[in-house]
Amino acid sequence: MTDERFDPGGLGKWTEESRFEVTRERLIEYAKATNDPIPAHLAGDVANPVFAIVPVFESLMEPALEVVPVGLFGRIVHGEQEFRFHRPIRPGDKLVSRARMTGYEGLSNGTRGTIHLECRTEDGDLVNEQYVTLFVRGFDTGETRGELGPEHKFDDALRSQAPVAKVNQHVDDDQTYRYAPAAGDPMPIHLDEEVAKDSGLPGIIAHGLCTMAFTSWALLTEVAGSEVDRLKRFAVRFAKPVLPGQDLTTHIWRAGAGSYAFETTVGETVVIKDGLAEFAE
């Protein structure tokens, strides 16, 4: 066990700005790569909400370099993802993004930390904010510093109600090969069977954010009339990996005015938990 500790002095430090120009072709590619059936997404008129990860992807892990010892980077997994939408992304947008790590908490089985990202137009208008929870497996840093991301825990009392919708979806055998270039995420555990197995996985796994994109269009089509501009908050916890060829089932419960809780399973196994979507009425 390493004696290294997180560096609280790196909290709150913004990265350099990264820039991204949105094209209609890239929006269409992303919609197709996530089996998104919504016509406006497939036409590239507006982005699938989870496309918001693409412009900020280069900034995603950079803040952790200021806080997490480099020797622990191999233990990091993406634990949770939350989007706060101020407006949808559209073709022609020229976006400017930056990120900072805001806090961490040592736990008995590892350490979780929060990265906060901002995405704006060149004119400075806020497009979205994101909270990424990373988890360093098997390393307890022994303290809590700064601020963690907002809570979005599923209320188990909702299980006494019937879900308002149930959506069945299929992850294609070639899903990861289509998603990787569309998202700009070429991690080999999603593309190389041998690398995935060497990492302790049963084989190639789907990108967590691809699975999240599936749940986004499930919510949009079932409870929001496919109107992405109504979506204001979207958050999940990644519970278990999804494999190509598997079937997903997402159950959706009403959790208040414009608010829906959801979880996604493969068979009896929960793969997305603590799902929350908030829509403007």
89, 22 contact by CB (below 8 A): yes
Write out pLDDT tens, residues 225-280: 999 999 999 999 999 999 999 999 999 999 999 999 999 999 999 999 999 999 99
For the chain, domain boundaries:
8-279
3-state secondary structure of 270: strand
Q: List CB contacts of 24: < 8 A, sequence separation 6 or more.
A: 44, 45, 91
Query: Sorting pLDDT into bands at 50, 70 and 90, what band is 1?
Result: very low
Q: Is the pLDDT of residue 3 over 70?
A: no
Write out pLDDT tens, residues 103-115: 999 999 999 999 9
Q: Which residues pair with 98 in a beta bridge?
A: 118
Query: Sorting pLDDT into bands at 50, 70 and 90, what band is 199?
Result: confident
Superfamily for domain range 8-279 = Hotdog Thioesterase (3.10.129.10)
Q: Which residues pair with 179 in a beta bridge?
A: none
* End-to-end Cα distance, the chain: 51
Write out pLDDT tens, residues 128-184: 999 999 999 999 999 999 999 999 999 999 999 999 999 999 999 999 999 999 999
- Can you tell me the mean pLDDT for 91-98? 97
Write out pLDDT tens, residues 41-70: 999 999 999 999 999 988 888 999 999 999
| 218: nearest Cα among 245, 246, 249 | 249
**Rounded CA gap, 198 and 257, in Å?**
46
**CA angle, residues 31, 97, 150, in degrees to nearest 5:** 80
| 183: nearest Cα among 37, 15, 36, 40 | 36
CA 195 from centre of chain = 23
